[in-house]
């Protein structure tokens, strides 16, 4: 296949990502037109920008559905396989839910900037998923990071919001330096930035330089997925930004980080390299689970609790990543977990957003006391999402955690370390159930505040309704995840 044919094929396959990135750029340009006076129609602009954003996703999804998996998966800048397709689907799923979540909560002064940056972030995820080169992988990751700085800055303009933005910006730049340093070593070892060439070297050769390069890349990606010890910005950012932005932060960077990790780490490893990377991943997984759950259990601030909960979920996913590298599991386990995580996490933030929009409070766990009697629909939605986060049956969260556990313990008694990690995950899930139950019980607790919260936000109601339905349906049809 000549260069021109390859380029045309790549354009066709990347059409959904290109559509989202160009559409987001047009929305950013539209922000200049939306800057009106005090009498501008904010309600109309909200509806218009949200509808345009959904239309961009519909066009991207349509273009994606028109393709067929090519015979030649690609060996250039992009590789079009099931990983690329799954990451694109996660972007479209999360994008739809996040746009609905943002419909009535996006900052009214910066509607064009907000939706433009959000759509560009969504378009960057398929770029990361299809990346077959360190350069395109880094480009995709930065296309997520840079709009995130803008979104954090415009979502909340008080001191707490400024602090959250600055912390994320500084630490993100720090993590990018780690990633680029590791990438430079991989280039030095392999003589190429192509991931297939790098994977061949990782399987054929061994040495401290290769291990050091992989650990540096892993450190750069650990920030994006909030793995310990690169997690400490998350509680401050979740607390300092808006609820909607916290929902975005809990999902999109995590998806991008794990997809990038699959692209870099999943290959045929030499035994020596495997013996180096597996203990590092197991240690990161164990520490991330432990720190996330123990710190979440100690929180009274709901935002910080959700941040540490997100960190704990990263620990479970890293355990699945270890099983994937050791060929005890398939990448579908991680994508299924991320899909279930999208439904239950974004649904939970939509419920909290409706409570706040109706005049309630959700900063502290105690603020939810008796909320079922004041806002029953949102409380029921929160209940389903929290039960799914615990991992109980009849929710998607059950299969998500169960499949990770089975993948981690697939070797059985032949590998006592993996078996021990599976048991450790189960113990952490019990700890997590404790603090989720603490939030859940507050909803149905009798309280002196019985004033109903009657303000209705249709977009938030639709968002958590869809999330609840997906969470329940995916328990009975887990293959669709």
Q: Spell out the SS3 assignment of the chain.
A: CCHHHHHHHHHHHCHHHHHHHHHHHHHHHHHHHHCCCCCCCHHHHHHHHHHHHHHHHHHHHHHHHCCCCCCCCCCCCECCCHHHHHHHHHHHHHHHHHHHHHCCCCCHHHHHHHHHHHHHHHHHHHHHHHECEHHHHHHHHHHHHHHHHHHHHHHCCCHHHHHHHHHHHHHHHHHHHHHHHHHHHHHHHHCCCEHHHHHHHHHHCCCHHHHHHHHHHHHHHHHHCCCCCCCCHHHHHHHHCCHHHHHHHHHHHHHHHHHHHHHHHCCCCCHHHHHHHHHHHHHHHHHHHHHHHHHHHCCCEHHHHHHHHHHHHHHHHHHHHHHHHCCCCCCHHHHHHHHHHHHHHHHHHHHHHHHHHCCCCCCEHHHHCCHHHCCHHHHHHHHHHHHHHHCCCCCHHHHHHHHHHHHHCCCHHHCHHHHHHHHHHHHHHHHHHHHHHHHHHHHCCCCCCCCCCCCCCHHHHHHHHHHHHHHHHHHHCHHHC
pLDDT for 311 equals 94
Which residue shows structure tokens 């259990």? 297
Q: What pLDDT does 94 receive?
A: 93
410-424: burial string, b at 16+ Cβ within 10 Å, e else: beeeebeebbebbeb
How many whole angstroms from its chain centre is CA 397? 15
Q: Which pLDDT value is given to residue 431?
A: 93
Structure confidence at residue 413 (pLDDT): 58
Question: What does pTM read for this prediction?
Answer: 0.92
Residue listed under structure tokens 């059409």: 15
pLDDT computed for residue 4 by the predictor: 63
For 14, other C-beta atoms within 10 Å of its C-beta total 21
Listed in sequence order, the residues at least 6 apart from 385 whose beta carbon sits closer than 8 Å to its beta carbon are 343, 344, 345, 347, 348, 351, 464, 467, 468, 471
What does the pLDDT read at residue 36?
Answer: 60
Closest by Cα among 260, 52, 248 to 149? 248
Report the alpha-carbon distance of residue 139 to residue 255 in Å, rounded.
15
Query: Which residues of the chain fall below pLDDT 70?
Result: 1-7, 34-40, 69-75, 328-329, 411-414, 447-455, 478-481
Contact between residue 437 and residue 390 where contact means Cβ atoms under 8 Å apart? yes
Which pLDDT score is estimated for 15? Answer: 87
């Amino acid at each position: 296949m000549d260069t021109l044919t390859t380029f045309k094929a790549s354009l066709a396959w990347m059409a959904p990502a290109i559509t989202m990135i160009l559409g987001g750029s047009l929305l950013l340009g539209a922000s200049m037109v939306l800057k009106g006076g005090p009498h501008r129609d904010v309600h109309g602009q909200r509806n218009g920008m949200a509808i345009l954003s959904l239309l961009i996703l519909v066009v991207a999804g349509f273009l994606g559905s028109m393709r067929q998996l090519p015979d030649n998966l690609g060996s250039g800048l992009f590789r079009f396989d099931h990983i690329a397709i799954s990451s694109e689907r996660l972007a479209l799923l999360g994008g739809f839910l996040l746009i609905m979540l943002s419909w009535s909560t996006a900052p009214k002064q910066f509607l064009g900037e907000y939706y433009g940056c959000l759509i560009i972030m969504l378009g960057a995820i398929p770029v990361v998923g299809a990346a077959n080169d360190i350069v395109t992988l880094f480009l995709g990751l930065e296309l997520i990071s840079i709009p995130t700085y803008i979104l954090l800055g415009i979502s909340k303009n008080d001191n707490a919001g400024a602090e959250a933005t600055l912390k994320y910006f500084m630490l993100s730049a720090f993590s990018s330096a780690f990633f680029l340093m590791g990438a430079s070593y991989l280039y030095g070892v392999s003589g190429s930035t192509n991931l297939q060439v790098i994977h061949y070297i990782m399987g054929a050769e061994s040495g401290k330089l290769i291990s050091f390069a992989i650990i540096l890349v892993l450190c750069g990606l650990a920030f994006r997925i909030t793995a310990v010890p690169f997690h400490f910005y998350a509680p401050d950012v979740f607390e300092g930004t808006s609820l909607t932005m916290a929902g975005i932060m809990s999902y999109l960077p995590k998806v991008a980080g794990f997809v990038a990790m699959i692209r870099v780490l999943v290959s045929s490893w030499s035994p020596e390299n495997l013996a180096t990377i597996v203990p590092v991943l197991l240690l990161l997984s164990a520490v991330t689970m432990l720190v996330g759950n123990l710190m979440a259990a100690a929180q009274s601030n709901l935002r910080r609790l959700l941040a540490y909960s997100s960190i704990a979920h990263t620990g479970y996913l890293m355990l699945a990543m270890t099983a994937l590298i050791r060929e005890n599991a398939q990448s579908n386990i991680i994508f299924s977990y991320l899909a279930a995580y999208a439904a239950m996490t974004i649904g939970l933030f939509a419920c909290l957003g409706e409570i706040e929009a109706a005049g309630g409070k959700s900063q502290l766990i105690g603020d939810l006391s008796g909320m079922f009697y004041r806002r029953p629909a949102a409380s029921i939605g929160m209940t389903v999402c929290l039960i799914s986060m615990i991992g109980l049956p009849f929710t998607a969260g059950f299969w998500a955690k169960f499949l990770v556990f089975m993948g981690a313990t697939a070797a059985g008694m032949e590998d006592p370390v993996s078996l021990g990690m599976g048991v450790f995950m189960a113990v952490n899930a019990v700890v997590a159930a404790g603090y989720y139950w603490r939030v859940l019980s507050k909803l149905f607790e009798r309280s002196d505040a019985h004033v109903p919260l009657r303000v209705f936000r249709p977009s938030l109601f639709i968002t958590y309704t869809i999330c609840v339905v997906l969470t329940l349906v995916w328990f009975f049809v887990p293959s669709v995840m």
